Structure formats: C-alpha cells, structure tokens
C-alpha cells in the first residue's frame, strides 16, 4: 500500500494495520473484522467471531477488528462495500471471505478448511511435534506388551498435552492392559464431550469393552470340543473368541469370529460381526492387521 499523498491519520492507520495484521499474518492466520459502532449486524456477529477466534488461538488464529469510520483508507483498499465484512489474511493477502459465516459452526468449518490448507504456525502444531515421539514410543511399548512403560510415556505426554485424544487413548489402553479397568474407564469418562467421538477415544473405549467382557481361559479345549460336536454353536464361537482375546491371541479370535460369520452372519443380530469390529477398533483401524481382517470380512459378506 503506497503512502504518497496520504494524510497523517491514514498513514498512522496504515502503520497500525501493518503492525497488527500484515506482520502477524506471515506465520498466523489473521481474521480481519471490518465493523462500525452504528452497525447492528456487526454487533450481533462480534460475540460469535470473538469466541471462535479465542477458541482457535492455539491453532494460530488472531482477530483484528477494523473500525471503518476510523480506518477508511484500509477499508477502501480491501474494497469493503458493506459491513460486517470479514476476511482471513495470510502472508499479507486475503485468502478467504468469511462474511457469510454467521454461526459458530459455520465459522469453525471454514477455519478448519483454511487451516488444513495453509502452513500456519501455532502453539498446537509445536506441541504436537514435541509429543509425537513420546506417543510413538508409548504405542511401541504397548505393542511389545510393556504396559507399565507405555503408561509412563503417555503420562509424560499428558503433562504437555492433557487434551490430546491420542494421549488420552494411550493412557486408557495402557491402564486396560494393566487390568486397571475402573481407572481406564475414569480416564475415558473424563474426556471433553467434543472429543468423545474421536477415533483414538473410540479405540480406547473398544479396548476397555473387550477387557470387560473377556474372561481369561487357561484351557480352551472344552469350547473347541463343543464346536467340533456342533459347528453351528455360535454362542461357543463368541465365548471362544473372547477367550482368545483375553489370552492375547487376536489372530485366533479373528479366525473364530470370521468362521461364525461365514456360517451365519445374522445370528443374534450379527453378534460375531459386532465383536470382530470391536476387536479391530481396539487394535486400531489403521493397523495393517486390522486392514487384513477387514478384507477377510468383506470377502465373506460379499461372496
């Protein structure tokens, strides 16, 4: 923006805009709200945009309000013809017009789309990078059967990011593996409502569900004999699968459940399929093993 011929007031307005918007926008997403005291719709929108921007501050979002009566030159540069007008600015350039977003949900949806496309620097991203190696180490410890070490690692991550779903999930799954089921349930129950449906939390919930239902068996030969005598004893299939899961043999559990589904997928309202899906969710749907079992299930269902 050229300053030649500008009044001292406009020059000061431009300098303030550079300081408050242009410079921060080099790394942050700056939301510029053009408004005026006499504008009723502006006052209605203000609480919404202020709350959302405050909520998204850890994601690298800042809010700057520009009074068009006091900053006419800035408003003209942005071709503001009516108010409220709201722009998202990154690296000195408008990247989105948010004016039509009048509710929290609409504004958050638009911001999520923008943040997913731009290299915004934020405390949230820096925090995620810091705890990523700790989470990975915790998952490795769990996979290796060292739930005590896993819990220590997830607790360490929680001291940095207590509301991160992967961290909460890791804590709950480690507690479940240690047999501390009530403690694991308490961790899951304490999850904020907005995170309750996160895939990581669902995974922890599935692992706890399996642990609650499973009963360890030292000898599963009795159940195997029942199935040898009656291959359509689906209750025995489910009990045998539960025994295998409790004993940590997920391959055998999946085999048993898939055989039950192959013989009668509708038995007891699809109980075997439901138990298999719970097992896959507990393992993690992104796990290669889970992917293999899903393909086996699809082959049965669509054959």
User: Averaged in consecutive runs of 10 residues, what is the pLDDT profile of the chain (303 residues)?
Assistant: 68 92 95 96 94 94 95 91 94 94 93 93 88 95 93 95 94 95 96 90 94 78 94 94 87 96 94 94 90 95 89
Q: Given this model, what pLDDT does residue 4 score?
A: 54
* Catalytic site residue from 30, 42, 49, 151: 42
Closest CA to 239 of 266, 225, 218, 220: 220
Let me know if 53 is a catalytic residue: no
The whole-angstrom separation of Cα 230 and Cα 224 is 10
Q: What phi and psi, each to the nearest 5 degrees, are found at residue 90?
A: -135, 130
Q: What phi and psi, each to the nearest 5 degrees, are found at residue 87?
A: -120, 150
Q: Given this model, what pLDDT does residue 7 score?
A: 82
Closest CA to 154 of 145, 167, 166: 167
Q: Given this model, what pLDDT does residue 11 score?
A: 87
Let me know if 42 is a catalytic residue: yes
The whole-angstrom separation of Cα 125 and Cα 62 is 15
For 300, half-sphere exposure in the C-beta direction (CA atoms, 13 angstrom radius) is 19
Buried b (16+ CB within 10 A) or exposed e, 73-82: bbbeebebee
* Catalytic site residue from 14, 29, 32, 39: 39
Q: Given this model, what pLDDT does residue 218 score?
A: 65
Whole-prediction pTM value? 0.67
């Amino acid at each position: 923006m050229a300053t030649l011929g500008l009044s001292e007031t406009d020059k000061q307005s431009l300098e303030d805009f550079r300081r408050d918007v242009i410079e921060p926008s080099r790394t942050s997403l700056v939301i510029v709200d053009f408004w005026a005291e006499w504008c009723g719709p502006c006052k209605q929108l203000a609480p919404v945009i202020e709350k959302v921007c405050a909520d998204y501050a850890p994601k690298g979002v800042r809010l700057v309000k520009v009074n068009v009566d006091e900053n006419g030159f800035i408003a003209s540069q942005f071709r503001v013809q009516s108010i409220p007008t709201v722009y998202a600015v990154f690296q000195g350039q408008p990247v989105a017009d948010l004016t039509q977003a009048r509710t929290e949900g609409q504004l958050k949806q638009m911001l999520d789309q923008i943040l997913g496309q731009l290299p915004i620097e934020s405390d949230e991203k820096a925090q995620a990078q810091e705890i990523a190696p700790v989470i990975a180490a915790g998952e490795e410890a769990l996979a290796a059967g060292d739930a005590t070490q896993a819990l220590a690692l997830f607790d360490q991550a929680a001291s940095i990011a207590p509301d991160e779903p992967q961290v909460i999930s890791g804590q709950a799954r480690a507690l479940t593996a240690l047999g501390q089921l009530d403690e694991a349930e308490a961790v899951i129950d304490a999850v904020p409502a907005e995170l309750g449906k996160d895939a990581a939390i669902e995974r922890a919930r599935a692992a706890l569900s399996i642990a609650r239902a499973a009963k360890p068996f030292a000898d599963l030969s009795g159940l195997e004999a029942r199935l040898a005598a009656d291959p359509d004893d689906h209750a025995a299939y489910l009990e045998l699968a539960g025994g295998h899961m409790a004993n940590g043999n997920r391959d055998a559990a999946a085999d048993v459940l898939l055989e039950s589904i192959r013989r009668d997928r509708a038995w007891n309202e699809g109980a075997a399929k439901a138990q298999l899906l719970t097992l896959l969710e507990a393992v993690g749907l992104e796990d290669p093993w889970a992917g293999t079992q899903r393909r086996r299930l699809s082959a049965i269902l669509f054959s």
